[in-house]
Chain A
Amino acid sequence: MKKTETAKVLSNNKLAEGIFDITLECPEVSALAKAGQFIEIYPDNGANLLARPISICEIKENALRIVFQTVGKGTKLFSEYKMGDKVRILGTCGNGYDLKNGSALLVGGGIGVPPLLETAKQLISAGSKVNVVLGFRSGSFLSDEFEKLGAEVHIATDDGSVGFKGNVVDLIKAEKLAAETVYACGPKIMLKFLSMHCEGQNMPLQVSMEERMACGIGACVGCVVKIRDEVSADGWTYKKVCKDGPVFDSREVCWE
């Protein structure tokens, strides 16, 4: 089920350079939300027509919290929203994570970190032991909030400014982190190497993918990723990130 709604900006804070944290009052859409889903936000400025898909960082009472990076004109516009501004949104989109019982390892890279916060919250309240591995180029954001939830947090940075110097997969190997289910969101290259590691360790991994989208509801068939398909003659098919994903079983993804 999806709805459109005019959301009201309740707050907008800058978390780090180019990273913004907005809470949107949207009772109808927030009532539909699941961890790992996303919403579509329309810039509505005449020039930028397409909605921006933004992951849900936290599901609140009558509201959704989003944490996003400014990468282009649309997200730049969102970063300038003030309290009380009205924003047209559509949601919720995608399948979200399939939350399993048992221990969990959550792995986020850069702007892939935010959707893991709601995921951690729900897993912890369901009684799972949660380890979180967060990777950043430099510095970090949201890590203290994972700690507050009761997760064990491990940080890797490319420049060594915080925590382990190196990437998240090397950190997972160094600390021998393991879990019954791994949930990840981040750059494709991170997901690919994490997938290789998890496959080797026989750990099921759910990856949240990203691709350029137009509609966000499965109609335009723009946001495809290559997924294994035994029925197809060449063994793969294009599936839609917005509707079939964004979360896929890592063993189904054709990593390139």
Chain B
Amino acid sequence: MINTSVNICGVELKNPVMTASGTFGSGREFSDFIDLNRLGAVVVKGVAAVPWKGNPAPRIAEVYGGMLNSVGLQNPGVDWFIENDIPFLRQFDTKIIVNVCGHSVEEYENVVRKLQGQDIDMLELNISCPNVSEGGMSFGTDPKMAEKTVKAVKKLADKPLIVKLTPNVTDITEIAKAAVSGGADALSLINTLTGMKIDIYRRKPVLQRKVGGMSGPAVKPVAVRMVYQVCKAVDVPVIGMGGISNAEDALEFIMAGATGVSLGTANFTDPYATIKTIDGIEDYMKKYGVNDLSEIRGIIE
């Protein structure tokens, strides 16, 4: 009997497969296609203290083996989320992880304060979005700032706190250690890599905001490397993401040390990608005699 379940900070997920924030809404759009009950967890699109409009279009550009986005965390705010999305997601037997975004420490605090006592399972602090001009990634590129922000949020959090890291730094282990010393219960990585695409016929950037965040299969080797480095550097559970499209990709991250894995851009290119990944992990375990994912987690020295 194989056991696909994983435990992250005391929260038991039926399998390690989650959805990367911002690629799955709160699951509604995918319920036409897949059974949300099968997911380890749904990590919802970033939630702010008040509604955010996001950035002007075009927000999307395709690049080789991936894409750029500059959505800018458009969201209807935490009050709307609590009223509409928590009841929707609670119909399903899956864990709810709420991604929290803000322009300032106070804004992060306001979201987390409102989420106190709500029926959710974990929080994911987004200090890594490249598409907002204040806050966002700026909190995740300076170790001191990262530690300070995590510490402030952790004080108010009544659920385990995951901190999502940006790859747009020289040494991601420094930020990882800072987040852990600030009180992070788990880490998730990587957010998108900043990128740019120019339309040579119009002689203009494709994205209205010029730069955006790159995701998709093309970033996967960078993400595997960073997850490996972070898993070696800290003792908290790590949720790996960055270009995961199938079980083979997910297993790479697990062998690099990740406890959970998230699919992001793959949801856009195949709405069934999460389910195929869950099935594929089970098939791999059966075929290669793995009874529990802990047997292969972090096996790369």
Write the residues of chain A forming the contact surface with B, with a CB cutoff of 8 angstroms: 1-4, 42, 46-51, 90, 211-215, 217-225, 232, 237-238, 243
Which 7 A-B pairs have CB atoms at the shortest separation, nearest pair first? A222-B60, A215-B268, A219-B29, A212-B60, A212-B58, A214-B268, A222-B59
> Can you list 5 A-B pairs, Cβ within 8 angstroms, ordered by A?
A2-B32, A46-B65, A214-B60, A219-B30, A220-B22
Chain A residue numbers with a CB within 8 Å of B267 are 215, 219
Asked whether, in the complex, the Cβ of A50 is within 8 Å of the Cβ of B67, the reply is: yes
Asked whether, in the complex, the Cβ of B62 is within 8 Å of the Cβ of A221, the reply is: no
Given contacts A46-B65, A212-B61, A238-B74, contact A218 B265 (CB under 8 A): no
Interface of B is mostly: loop
Closest Cβ of chain A to B275, distance in Å, is: 12
B53 contacts A by Cβ under 8 Å: yes
Chain B residue numbers with a CB within 8 Å of A50 are 60, 62, 67, 268-269
Q: Give the contacts of B1-54 with A (CB-CB under 8 A).
A: 22-25, 28-30, 32-33, 45, 51, 53-54
Asked whether, in the complex, the Cβ of A1 is within 8 Å of the Cβ of B32, the reply is: yes
Asked whether, in the complex, the Cβ of B29 is within 8 Å of the Cβ of A221, the reply is: no
Q: Give the CA-CA distance A1 to B33 in the complex, in Å.
A: 9
B169 contacts A by Cβ under 8 Å: no
Chain A residue numbers with a CB within 8 Å of B206 are 212
Closest Cβ of chain A to B29, distance in Å, is: 4
Given contacts A214-B69, A220-B23, A237-B53, contact A49 B61 (CB under 8 A): no
Which of A2, A211, A218 sits near B33, CB closer than 8 Å?
A2
Q: Give the CA-CA distance A46 to B58 in the complex, in Å.
A: 23
Write the residues of chain B forming the contact surface with A, with a CB cutoff of 8 angstroms: 22-25, 28-30, 32-33, 45, 51, 53-54, 57-62, 64-67, 69, 71, 74, 206, 216-217, 265, 267-272
Q: Give the CA-CA distance A46 to B65 in the complex, in Å.
A: 6
Which of A3, A49, A219 sits near B217, CB closer than 8 Å?
A49
Closest Cβ of chain A to B244, distance in Å, is: 13
Chain B residue numbers with a CB within 8 Å of A221 are 22, 25, 45, 54, 59, 71, 74
* Residue of A with least CB distance to B73: A221
Asked whether, in the complex, the Cβ of A214 is within 8 Å of the Cβ of B67, the reply is: yes
Q: Give the CA-CA distance A213 to B271 in the complex, in Å.
A: 15
Asked whether, in the complex, the Cβ of B57 is within 8 Å of the Cβ of A212, the reply is: yes
Closest Cβ of chain A to B300, distance in Å, is: 26
Asked whether, in the complex, the Cβ of A218 is within 8 Å of the Cβ of B25, the reply is: yes
Asked whether, in the complex, the Cβ of A211 is within 8 Å of the Cβ of B58, the reply is: yes
Q: Give the CA-CA distance A42 to B66 in the complex, in Å.
A: 14
Asked whether, in the complex, the Cβ of A4 is within 8 Å of the Cβ of B71, the reply is: no
Asked whether, in the complex, the Cβ of A42 is within 8 Å of the Cβ of B269, the reply is: yes
Asked whether, in the complex, the Cβ of B54 is within 8 Å of the Cβ of A238, the reply is: yes
Chain A residue numbers with a CB within 8 Å of B216 are 49
